Amino acid sequence: MLQALFAQGSALMLVYAYDVSVAFVRMLVLSRFLDLRELGFTSLLAATYATLEQLTDFSLYRSVLSAPRENYEEALASAHGLSVLRGLVVGGIGVAAAPLLAAAFSLGPEWPSFAAVGLIAFVRSFENLGPRVAERDYRYGAQAKVSTVANGLSIAVLLVAVALKQGHNALILSLLAQAFGFAAASQVFSNAPYRLRFRSPFFQRAFKFGYPLMFNGVGLAVAAQGDRFLVGAMLDLPALGVYSVLMLVTTAPVSIVTRGVNTLTVALLFNAAEMKRVFEARLQLVSRLTPLVGAFIAVGVLTLMNIVVPVVFGRSFTASRWMIILLAFGAFVRIARNDPGTALLLNEGRTKRLALANLASVSAIAFSVVLLYFVKSIESPALGRLMGEIAGLTAIHLLGQAAFRGGAGANLEAISGCAAIIFVTSIMSFFMPSGANLVPNLTLLCLCAAGMLLWASRFAVPLAKVGFPSRFIGRQGA
C-alpha cells in the first residue's frame, strides 16, 4: 500500500522539490557572486514577489477540483478568466507600490526593479490550470513536466545574468523567465484547451470559493515574508542577506513537505468522505505521522545546519546555536500546524475558518517588532516567527475542532511527544563539539530517527489496514 502511494506521489514530490530547490539554487548562486548588500536587495525583491502572489492567492485550481466532472471545461475556463483578472490587479498594485517600496528601504533609484515584480505576476496569470487540476485523480506527470521546463529556464537565465554581472536584476530576469515558462509549458502539457470565461456560474463560484483565501493569503504572506521586510528596515541589507539564507535552508524542506503532505491528504480524505471508518483511520494516521515528519526535519536542522550551510554558502552564514534551535522549532511547528487541519477545512469548504486560523500567524510581525526593538539581532525575528507559528497552530485547532473529529487528540499527543524529542535534542546540541563534527551529529540524528520509526510502527500498520482495506485484502488474497 505504502509503495503504491509513494509511486503515485513521486511526480508530485518532484514538482515541489523543483519549486523549492530552484529557490535554493538561486540563493546559492547569488550568495556566491553578490556581496551581502546586493544579496539583501535580491531578498527584498523575492519577498515582494512572494507577498504579491500570496496576498491574492485564490487557489483557483482547487475551485475546479470541487466542480462536477461534467462541467470540468466550463469551470476551468472560468478559473482562467478569474486568474487573468487577478493578474491585472496584482500587476497594477506591484507597479504602483514600487516607488514607495524603494523609498522605504533607501533604494529610490532602483524602483524599476520593484515595478518589474508586478509584470512577472501578470505573466504568470496566463498559466493553464489543467495540469494542476489533474491531481484530483492522482495524475501529476503533466505538472512535473511544466515545472521542469519553467524552473529549468529560470536557472539557465539566472546563470547567464550572473555571468553578465547584472547584480540584483539577475533575480528579476530569472523570475520573469520562470513565469513565461509556466505560462507556455502549461499550454503544451494540458489535456484541456486554454479558454477564458467571465460570464458563467462557475466564475462566480470560483470567486466565492477563493476570496476568503485572500485573507488566508494575508496570514501566509505576513508569516512567510514579513520578517524579511522588518530585518531590512530595522537592521540593514547585509543582515537581511544572512537572515534570508538561514531561513531558506530551513523553509526549503518545510515547503516541500507541507505542500506534498497537504495535497496527498486532501486527496486521501476527499476519496474516503463517504466511508466513515476508512475516513477516520486515514485522519488518525495523518494526524500522528505529520508531526513525526516535522520532528525529523527539526532534528536534521539541529544536527546538520552548521555543517552543511557554511560549506555550501560560505562561512559568513554560520548560525549561532540559539538561532539553530529557533529555526528547528519553527520548522516543526509550521509542519504540524499545516495538516491535517488545512486539508480538513479545505475538504469541507470552510475556507473562512482556514483564513482566520492562518491570520493568527500574523501575530509573528508584532512579536518580531517588539523583539527587534529591544534586541537588534537576527535571532529576534526568528523567535517572533516561531511565536506566530505557535499562535497559528493553536488557532487551527480551536477553529477546526468540528473538522478534526476524532483526530484532534491524536494530533496533539503526537505534537507533544515530538516537541519533547526536539527539546531534548536541543539541550544535547549545547554539549556537542562546536564546528563541523559530522560523525557525532549524524549519530544523534540516526538515533532520533530510529526512535521515531519505532514509535510510528506501533500505530501506522493497524491504521493503514483500516484506512486502505482493499489494498490489504488484495495482498492477503494473493
Helix 169-189 to helix 2-33 angle (10° resolution) is 150
Q: Which is more confident, 295 or 357?
A: 295
74-88, 151-165, 215-229: which has the minimum mean pLDDT?
Answer: 215-229
Rounded mean pLDDT, 365-379 = 94
Question: Which residue type occupies 194?
Answer: Y
What pLDDT, on a 0 to 100 scale, did the predictor assign at position 433?
A: 64
31 Cβ partners below 8 Å, 6+ apart?
A: 39, 241, 245, 313, 314, 317
What pLDDT, on a 0 to 100 scale, did the predictor assign at position 213?
A: 66
What pLDDT, on a 0 to 100 scale, did the predictor assign at position 348?
A: 74
pTM of the complete model: 0.79
What pLDDT, on a 0 to 100 scale, did the predictor assign at position 226?
A: 85
CB 71 within 8 A of CB 63: no
- Secondary structure (3-state) at 167: coil
C-alpha cell at 182: 509556466
Q: Please say if the pLDDT value at position 172 is more than 90.
A: yes
What pLDDT, on a 0 to 100 scale, did the predictor assign at position 10?
A: 63
Residue 189 sits at φ, ψ, to 5 deg, of -100, 5
Highest mean pLDDT among 175-184, 187-196, 336-345: 175-184
Q: How confident is the model at residue 12 (pLDDT cuts 50, 70, 90)?
A: low
What pLDDT, on a 0 to 100 scale, did the predictor assign at position 342?
A: 83
What pLDDT, on a 0 to 100 scale, did the predictor assign at position 398?
A: 85
C-alpha cell at 44: 527584498
What pLDDT, on a 0 to 100 scale, did the predictor assign at position 2?
A: 45
What pLDDT, on a 0 to 100 scale, did the predictor assign at position 437?
A: 77
DSSP assigned state of 275: -
Rounded mean pLDDT, 266-272 = 77
Kindly state the helix (H) or strand (E) to which residue 64 belongs, with its residue range: helix 60-65
Q: Please say if the pLDDT value at position 4 is more than 70.
A: no
CB 34 within 8 A of CB 167: yes
Q: Please say if the pLDDT value at position 476 is more than 50.
A: no
Q: How confident is the model at residue 212 (pLDDT cuts 50, 70, 90)?
A: low
Rounded mean pLDDT, 72-100 = 89
C-alpha torsion sign, points 259, 2, 265, 121:
positive
Give pLDDT tens digits for 300-346: 999 999 999 998 898 889 999 999 999 999 999 999 998 888 888 87
186-190, 289-293, 334-338, 406-410: which has the minimum mean pLDDT?
Answer: 406-410
Give pLDDT tens digits for 236-258: 899 999 999 999 899 888 888 88
What pLDDT, on a 0 to 100 scale, did the predictor assign at position 472?
A: 47
Distance in angstroms (rounded) separating the CA atoms of residues 324 and 78 = 46
Rounded mean pLDDT, 426-438 = 75
Residue 253, preceding peptide bond in cis (omega within 30° of 0): no
- Domain segments of the chain as ranges: 17-199, 215-473
What's the mean per-residue pLDDT of the chain? Answer: 85
What pLDDT, on a 0 to 100 scale, did the predictor assign at position 387?
A: 95
Residue 318 sits at φ, ψ, to 5 deg, of -75, 130
Distance in angstroms (rounded) separating the CA atoms of residues 429 and 294 = 18
Rounded to a whole number, what is the largest CA-CA distance in the chain?
72
CB 257 within 8 A of CB 384: no
- Secondary structure (3-state) at 56: coil
What pLDDT, on a 0 to 100 scale, did the predictor assign at position 436?
A: 58
What pLDDT, on a 0 to 100 scale, did the predictor assign at position 263?
A: 78
The position carrying cell 486560523 is: 357
For residue 315, what are the CA distances in angstroms to 40, 65, 235, 252, 307?
Answer: 17, 46, 20, 20, 10
Distance in angstroms (rounded) separating the CA atoms of residues 75 and 444 = 51
What pLDDT, on a 0 to 100 scale, did the predictor assign at position 435?
A: 57
Distance in angstroms (rounded) separating the CA atoms of residues 411 and 338 = 12
CB 388 within 8 A of CB 262: no
315 Cβ partners below 8 Å, 6+ apart?
A: none
Give pLDDT tens digits for 135-170: 766 677 888 889 899 999 999 999 999 999 999 999
C-alpha cell at 332: 516543526
Q: How confident is the model at residue 474 (pLDDT cuts 50, 70, 90)?
A: very low
CB 268 within 8 A of CB 294: no
Q: Please say if the pLDDT value at position 478 is more than 50.
A: no
Q: Please say if the pLDDT value at position 179 is more than 80.
A: yes
